[in-house]
Amino acid sequence: MLEFKNYKELMSKLSDEKVCREAMEQWRWDGEPFCPHCNGTKPYKLKDGKTYRCREKTCRKDFTVTVGTVFENSKIPLSTWMAAMFVITAHKKGISSLQLARDLGCTQKTAWFILHRIRYIMDEPNPEPLDNIVELDETYTGGKFANMNRARRKKYQDLGIDNKTAVMGFVEREGKGRLTVIGDNTFKDMVRKNVKKEAIVITDQHTGYKGLDAEYAAHLSVNHSVMQFRDGIAYTNSVEGFFSCLKRSIIGIYHQVSAKHLQQYCNETSYRYNTRKITDKDRFTQTMCNVEGRLKYKNLIKS
């Protein structure tokens, strides 16, 4: 297993492609390689030291450890992928392709490609509904245009940020968070899709949430207009903190996010939020074990 204490040590070990490949084989296969085409076990290694051939009579295909992962079909060396993985997963607010290109010494085009691939595994497919006490709220990523002066409004419009792009945020108290673009859904539909009926939901007093008390264990609401921010368990500070992570990364790092790509940035912010309590090293290693397409949060959070 590749052992390292920090980024510097990791970098000194990643100078050798062979070390990277062996580390990745360990992370992905845990000593038991299998064929990504047919799941056949015990393939044999060819003379080049990196290609495996499937033993199954109906398959017989060749593969390397990157086949079936987000690293597949690229000319980027594994050492670059792994350095990128560490840098991207360690940044608390995300990293721009320009900065990543500088850090890795590659072109911005390559950095953009790497970011795109790694962001893909930050998505959680078919997530379980949240439970217990769930704070939720909605936000508009472009800010509310009506409250802006003309110059600021123009700035956002020029950036292509659509003020109709509403995002709903959910935070399970002491647990994980999720950000989802609302699109054509009603607020209540969003809650139904993302929160278990047994949960206690906490919202502000927006009329869109009225009636949730009939469907959920309880519905508590916070009246922001009279500065009532904290009343027993009825507060929404966690989800507001979560929104500020999203805004910091969109406004501070990425500068322009089109409505089309907003969900991806929401996923990335959720990934960072949900892994905030583990070390950079663990986050890196656990994400490296998840490079087969999409990230499995369950594995990532258990640590």
Q: Does 59 bind Zn ion (CB under 5 A)?
A: yes
189's CB contacts (< 8 A; 6+ apart) are none
Binding-site residue total for Zn ion (CB under 5 A)?
Answer: 7
We find the least distance from the C-beta atom of residue 242 to Zn ion, in angstroms, to be 43
Piece in contact with Zn ion (CB under 5 A), picked from 53-61, 109-117, 127-135, 201-209: 53-61
Q: Does 54 bind Zn ion (CB under 5 A)?
A: yes
Q: Does 37 bind Zn ion (CB under 5 A)?
A: yes
DSSP 261: G
Instruction: Give the residue with the Cβ less far from Zn ion, 64 or 180.
Output: 64
DSSP 48: T
Beta bridge partners of 138: 168
Instruction: Give the residue with the Cβ less far from Zn ion, 41 or 223.
Output: 41
Binding mask 259-278 for Zn ion (x = CB under 5 A): --------------------
Q: Does 35 bind Zn ion (CB under 5 A)?
A: yes
**Of 19, 38, 251, 289, which one interacts with Zn ion (CB under 5 A)?**
38
Instruction: Give buried/exposed letters for 175-192 (b at 16+ CB in 10 A, else e).
Output: ebbbbbbbeeeebeebbb
We find the least distance from the C-beta atom of residue 55 to Zn ion, in angstroms, to be 8
263's CB contacts (< 8 A; 6+ apart) are 180, 181
Question: Hunting for tokens 């905030």 — which residue is that?
Answer: 276
We find the least distance from the C-beta atom of residue 47 to Zn ion, in angstroms, to be 19
Rounded (10°) CA dihedral 21, 25, 31, 32: -130
**Of 10, 21, 33, 40, which one interacts with Zn ion (CB under 5 A)?**
40
User: How many Cβ atoms from other residues are within 10 Å of residue 87's Cβ?
Assistant: 20
In the complex, which residues of this chain contact Zn ion (CB under 5 A)? 35, 37-38, 40, 54, 56, 59
